[in-house]
Amino acid sequence: MEESSSSTPSSDDGEYTLLIELVHRHVGFHDAELASVWRMHGIQDFTFQELPMDTRHHSSCSTGNNIRPFRIVTFPWTAIETDYSVEDNEISDKDKGKTNLITALSRCTLIRSVIELWGCGPVLKDCVESVRASVSPHRHRRGCHLGAKAKPYSERSWKITIHTLGSTYNREEQGDMRSQFSFLDFPGPVQMKCPDDEFLFIREVELDSNGGAVYPRHSETKCIIPENDARPSLGCYFGRVLGNNRMGRNWRGSNRIEQFSLKKRKYLGPTSMDSELSLIMTNLALIDKGSFVFDPFTGTGSILLTAALRGAYVFGTDIDLRVLRGRSEDENILANFKQFNLPPPELVRCDNSLYHRHFRSHLPLFDAILTDPPYGIRAGARKSGSKRDEVRPVLDEHRYAHGINTKRECWTHFNLLGRHDHVAQTKPYAVSDVMADLLNVAAMTLKMGGRLTYIIPSMKDFNEDEDLPRHECLKLVSVCYQPLQTELGRRVVTLEKTNEYDEQKQAQYLESTWLNGAQSAEKCANIRERLLEVAKKKPGYEEKAAIRKQKRKLNKETKKRAKREQAAQAQEMLEDKSHHV
């Protein structure tokens, strides 16, 4: 920690420093989401620092978690005065036209809190001395950015909160920590609930992959473990919490995650994307108010709904008509949008492998494409086509409806026999082809600078440098990994359009999608079968499989019995009615 604290000024004469505390989830997404939010709001004049793992804590690396949930961001004071604002209240006249850092950072789904860093050090004593050295020469600057409508400094209520990651300290111990900062001598009244200013002391320790302490201070019987209690902290930080009047320390997606949780939606499916990851993806794709967003594998519309929450116009397609229609009038995609008072999406049943037949593909149309393609674990991919080996051609007299000019390329298959409601057959759609077509459609239809953000599954043998699909018109921006099981994970990939699409090179684009050809394509195919092979090697698999099979059989019989009883009751009601008549 000595290295990071010495290289990180708490606030020297020309800098304004923020400490961003991130939630201990989706650790691989932290930096990519922050970078996208900076880009979205045009924030450029800053330095960004990820805290390194202290050399005194080599043992923490053995846990597989050597990423700390803190980032330090430093701005020149001149930028704060001219370009940015950190005002909690309504924007004052003098700050109009500035980028509000609180508003920008509140877009982030993975931020827990943001503090104006006054001082830091490896232990509490060093942190106190850092704050003491920082505050004295800069006291005139504290609160200078709070705005004309803020209360005078002498009247602002305050409190100091103790935040100890992965450890618990009683009130007396927390009081001793607070007393170390008594020299600050704030003139306003103390107010423990909703104060004007909340000051935060953070004590950081080593965390495991689940966010718990690697060396817990207390045992299961609530007794202090002396050797763990004596271990030095990774770092200590003190500062003023930003966004206090809006969200306090609970930035966490500004409560959007719980508000739009899958549990609260009327229509769900087995592949519905959770609200947290969907919100992260909208940031990675730079989706903002007025963006035009496309999802070619809409499913139950969970990703489109999240994009609409950001103020985007959303358009989705899917080949499965049943999913688009939903179960009933109250259980469908439109019902979810209506539930959250969002404008309805544009939905079209079509095949993404035949996008060029359905739409004018030569027109760049979308600001972003956001999707979770089907890759055969919960739902397999399908595309238009007959299951027969020999397909009979459609006759011309059956191809077009009466009155349509057959010289025009009309791909709507109305015919004279009244089969206008016919649903075309589908056949399996290889995952490698799904990915190749997705990137090709994105290169055709994205505006210049538009982004494609998609999910691709992967096993342990997946190599990001060689096995990711690629396209000449798209530049790789970020790859974020989310482990799901010991053997399985998924990557959220973001690409940006940098070159214009050449229709004459379409075949070349598709052939060069996979760097190592079939070897790379196979890495994201047959995931379900490969997982099953791994599971079969585990001890006790046969017994557990037999138990699951028996449970499925009982559930099936129970449903059949309930259905028969329901039909019998309906028949009895009809007989009773006819008897009374």
Does 292 have pLDDT greater than 90?
yes
What Rg value do the Cα atoms of the chain yield, rounded? 29
Percentage of residues of the chain with pLDDT beyond 90: 37
Does 253 have pLDDT greater than 70?
no
CATH topology of domain 260-379+429-524: Rossmann fold (3.40.50)
C-alpha closest to that of 438 among 352, 380, 319: 352
| CATH topology agreement for domains 2-255 and 260-379+429-524 | no
Does 479 have pLDDT greater than 90?
yes
**Lowest mean pLDDT across 194-203, 292-301, 459-468:** 459-468
pLDDT of 544: 85
**Lowest mean pLDDT across 34-43, 138-147, 316-325, 535-544:** 138-147
**For residue 337, how far is the Cα from the chain centroid?**
19
Chain segment 69-95, per-residue pLDDT in tens: 899 999 887 777 777 777 665 545 555
Rounded Cα distance between 35 and 43, Å, is 9
Q: What are phi and psi of 252, to 5 degrees?
A: 10, 65
pLDDT of 1: 35
- Into which CATH architecture does domain 2-255 fall? 2-Layer Sandwich (3.30)
Pairing type for strands 382-384 and 292-295 reads unpaired
The dihedral through the CA atoms of 539, 542, 547, 549 has a sign that is positive
pLDDT of 419: 53
Does 64 have pLDDT greater than 70?
no
DSSP run (H or E) holding 535: helix 527-536
Highest mean pLDDT pick, 59-68, 210-219, 230-239: 230-239
How many angstroms separate the Cα of 196 from the Cα of each of 6, 35, 156, 193, 273?
31, 30, 6, 9, 38
Helix-helix angle 302-309:275-284, to 10 degrees? 60
pLDDT of 65: 53
Q: Quickly list DSSP for 465-509.
A: HHHS---TTEEEEEEEEEE-SSSEEEEEEEEEE-S---GGGHHHH
Span 268-287, mean pLDDT?
Answer: 91
Span 199-221, mean pLDDT?
Answer: 89
Chain segment 235-245, per-residue pLDDT in tens: 999 999 987 65
Mean pLDDT of the chain: 82
Instruction: Answer with the residue of higher pLDDT: 165 or 419.
Output: 165
Q: What are the start-end ranges of the E strands in 284-393?
A: 292-295, 313-318, 346-349, 366-371, 382-384
Does 251 have pLDDT greater than 80?
no
Highest mean pLDDT pick, 174-183, 235-244, 541-550: 174-183
Span 504-520, mean pLDDT?
Answer: 88
DSSP letter (8 states) at residue 207:
B
pLDDT interval class at 442 (50, 70, 90): very high
**Taking the domains of the chain in order of start, what are their residue ranges?**
2-255, 260-379+429-524, 386-423, 539-573
Chain segment 87-127, per-residue pLDDT in tens: 665 545 555 667 888 888 888 999 988 999 999 999 999 99
C-alpha closest to that of 513 among 431, 450, 427, 445: 431
Collapse the DSSP code of 278 into the 3-class scheme (helix H, G, I; strand E, B; otherwise coil) and give the result.
helix
pLDDT of 577: 75
C-alpha closest to that of 4 among 115, 166, 117, 111: 117
Does 477 have pLDDT greater than 50?
yes
Place of tokens 């409806």: 401
